[in-house]
Structure 1
């Protein structure tokens, strides 16, 4: 018995010796996350980290032990390690630290706007999120507890112009009955407490196994990601993932395998609802829970430094339809052929993408691309003959231009284009859009927001950013053109093809991020002009070219983070 106990102690000691800290930098963390990505362009951060599998882990891109203090100048006046609530007596003993306290606010003056904001909801008026927590480690076991508290005024606004014809309302519901994407989350204030960026993990070398409610981001995009972003709140999932690149003879690899539970919002598409010939247009969603399986894998070939090639795939089904390992892990099944275009594939809702990121530190630049397919039901031959069907893509490029080398100042120029609009009119008439599903009418959502690109089904976005940057400090301008659900536009107005009705948002934003001692500040002021808001066109007399039902919206985001 003594020999057995001694063996167990030795095994645990070996395990602890090779354990890795699993403290994470939450997806979308103000200033810090993009600081590390810019540092790669400057050649001052580890260029083997792809930034396509996030959140980032301590040690994956930082050489120190505190991911919240990236430069040595910050450490000397904050007291490195001052976040500790318990000082370990020796290495690998019990350790507990305070995580940063963050308050983030958002205000929309006229109607909802924005994405990549986690627990926040699309809402008019003021809303705010408070997050804080602790991180504890004992040997290979780590616990990160970082809940989030949301309070939103959720003020009243017209969710769909009542002057639309009834048939347009009917066509609206044809689309939005196949996705849980409410225009407004109820008719009063919206308050929620969620687990947020929390996890419990067991870690060994570069691998981690655990349960998490953290937001995930897959792919190289900055404004959008086709399969996984932080637009929706995080969901409970089991995860097996790398915590840093795993080096092999052919290059390094990063990846993640998840199985999780998705939730409904519980709200209809519009407030108030609408009827058509006396029939309620809203079809309530099923009450059964949804299971999501997903995988992402990135390879950095050793022969081409800075190049990352990746693949990700997700599949959701209802919990009651789970049956065996193939339904729990359907990600390795071949592309399936079906007998009819509208035939469900094992009642699954699937999408996948291929992506690339190429980092050029010598040019202080990067280029990236993601190409995805949504619920594609053909075979590989059909995919080769018509690759644009059910496709979406993201393309981007960023470059740092030296501005004041002596003071380490640069000008950041970035361009990103996202295209989700369907190319097949037959698909549009059938109501087949990115993130919608007839077999799973909640679509690809969690708590009423899209898991992937925040611009939503049928949306297109073009972004230009020009900023001055120095370390964590950043001041700049952002210009965007956002086309709302062009698939719905073509579906709703296919009998007239009225090109004047496209709902297009033109916006300009001034934003800034600034660090001062322990504090990180962020602010963004964005003016948005919505042309033909909600696809409505006011016809005045016999004048053909006339101003649509335009709207002006002011969005203000502001926040502060305190780092211990």
Structure 2
């Protein structure tokens, strides 16, 4: 808490003293992000920006139709109440005040909610802030205050056999994702979407705690999402595409620190064949180094090709080698000594992706393909490209109607379950790691796809859109951690215990004067909750959310 307050106060004082062109829209901002993507898909926004590296910078958005009402309402208004200081050399504006709320009736549900936690009951997040610039310097001060009721709920059954607990402890020992965040109510202040930047033309260098999102996915992203709270990092990135003879490029390179949750499992005394199952994690922060880059070939308008690569290792393992601090510039393959590479306490994840915008058809197609373990060499990659893979595929299309409304059809499929190569080749689940006990997490939540290790999801839905108003219906199926299921129950020939959530989601977003509202309601049927089968083991859950933003 003291470190957070120090970061916030320093940012605020710096802003007041020095209060450009680097204002961003936070990842997950209701209505604005999805509207910009939809306008780009329909040809209103310029198609030179990929929208796959977020947060999105205002300067990266250019509009083909300057009179478009929807774009002007959501963009111009937010910049129309600015003020000047330092004899006109500095400019500032108040950022939207936003209150996000959600409620889970039976057990935690939902992801991509930033500093919010997995909790049952009521939860709220309040954010506010100030943006200011003077010369090349920009300050975005936007802290977040989170409160969660954090009520008790039924967790992993203590009645399971030791062999099942052995499989469960694999994830407890190699992944920092507590079922419950302590006892009683939870309250915490975060730096939130704050940053201090030096901007030069299309480039920006700074310190930030903003949520990040890399890749084209909407429900999930393999490498980087706002599922966990943002971590403090140094960033070097483009604020708008950089042109070259072969097309335009966007990128972001990040180095930062990941924190542990500090929460221990409820039961650490379980044993299996005389050995204690629980293994204490190393009490050390983790160093994160990652980069994402996209390329739009000049010969194919609307096509974006991208790659992201990240490394995580304990701070105590860094040493003094340059390559330890910037492993993203090291070789892609393990090389000859595979055993030595596997023994190093360093976790690498890599993905490639594309996004294809089709303005004439008012549609887009996108996909991301990633690996949780890099190949030994090119031959290994060619022989088994599916080893440790995960993927996301999505499609969206707009249809015009005679009533002045657009209908949007969308679908997305995510698969993080280990592939069949596990039968002949050992591999860990996504976001877990044998040498790094916290896995790929920050403060107890996965940084990538919110559904988590071994999970799969399929979603399909329709949105009815009229200007800045939207009403949507979505059907979604999530299979939770099939990697655990097959490891624990397959040897027992105990089929039919998959934990599957089937949900119907209704959502509405609307804009009235200075306010943006967003409401959603999910009716969830959890089949075999906590992998328990039999009569009465299926449960109902309600996930409800409501947010309101005030634009100055």
TM-score by length of 2: 0.91
Quick check: 324-333 or 257-266, which moved more?
A: 324-333
Q: Is the 8 A contact 2:386 2:421 kept in 1?
A: no
Deviations 1:420-443 (A, max 9, x none): 000146379956100000111100
1:474 to 470, 474, 487: 470
Q: Is the 8 A contact 1:428 1:491 kept in 2?
A: no
Instruction: Report the equivalent of 2:16.
Output: none
Matches within 5 A, 1:305-320: 305-320=301-316
Gaps of 5+ in 1: 1-19, 539-546
Instruction: Report the equivalent of 1:266.
Output: 262
Distance 2:99 2:424 in 1: 41
Deviations 1:502-537 (A, max 9, x none): 111100010010000000000110011111111112
Instruction: Report the equivalent of 2:366.
Output: 368
Deviation at 1:103? 0.2
Distance 1:75 1:531 in 2: 43
Quick check: 427-436 or 502-511, which moved more?
A: 427-436
Quick check: 171-180 or 130-139, which moved more?
A: 171-180
Deviation at 1:395? 0.3
SS across alignment from 2:371: strand
Instruction: Report the equivalent of 2:181.
Output: 185
Instruction: Report the equivalent of 2:346.
Output: 348
Q: Is the 8 A contact 2:388 2:427 kept in 1?
A: no
Instruction: Report the equivalent of 1:56.
Output: 56
Distance 1:79 1:315 in 2: 37
Matches within 5 A, 1:239-388: 239-268=235-264, 270-276=265-271, 281-322=277-318, 323-334=320-331, 335-337=333-335, 339=337, 344=342, 346-388=344-386
Instruction: Report the equivalent of 2:548.
Output: 560
Instruction: Report the equivalent of 2:155.
Output: 159
Distance 1:121 1:474 in 2: 27
Deviation at 1:288? 1.4
Instruction: Report the equivalent of 1:446.
Output: 442
Matches within 5 A, 1:435-514: 435-514=431-510
Deviation at 1:282? 2.7
SS across alignment from 2:530: helix
SS across alignment from 1:381: helix
Deviations 1:266-311 (A, max 9, x none): 112x435452268653322211111000010100011000000001
Q: Is the 8 A contact 2:100 2:547 kept in 1?
A: yes
Quick check: 181-190 or 507-516, which moved more?
A: 181-190
TM-score by length of 1: 0.89
2:390 to 371, 377, 392: 392
RMSD over aligned Cα atoms: 2.2
- Greater Rg over alpha carbons, structure: 1
Instruction: Report the equivalent of 2:13.
Output: none
1:205 to 201, 207, 229: 201
Distance 2:398 2:243 in 1: 28
Distance verdict in 2 for CA 1:442–1:296, change over 3 Å: same
SS across alignment from 1:71: helix
Quick check: 430-439 or 453-462, which moved more?
A: 430-439
Distance 1:299 1:381 in 2: 26
| Match status 1:81 vs 2:80 | yes
Distance 2:224 2:371 in 1: 14
Distance 2:340 2:117 in 1: 32
SS across alignment from 2:492: coil
1:422 to 398, 418, 421: 418
How many residue pairs get aligned? The number is: 527
| Match status 1:42 vs 2:46 | no
Distance 2:74 2:295 in 1: 33
Gaps of 5+ in 2: 1-19
| Structure 1 consecutive aligned stretches of length 4 or more whose deviation exceeds 6 Å | none
Quick check: 243-252 or 98-107, which moved more?
A: 243-252
Deviations 1:296-328 (A, max 9, x none): 010001100000000100001111111321011
Distance verdict in 2 for CA 1:70–1:57, change over 3 Å: farther
Q: Is the 8 A contact 2:109 2:118 kept in 1?
A: yes
SS across alignment from 2:59: coil
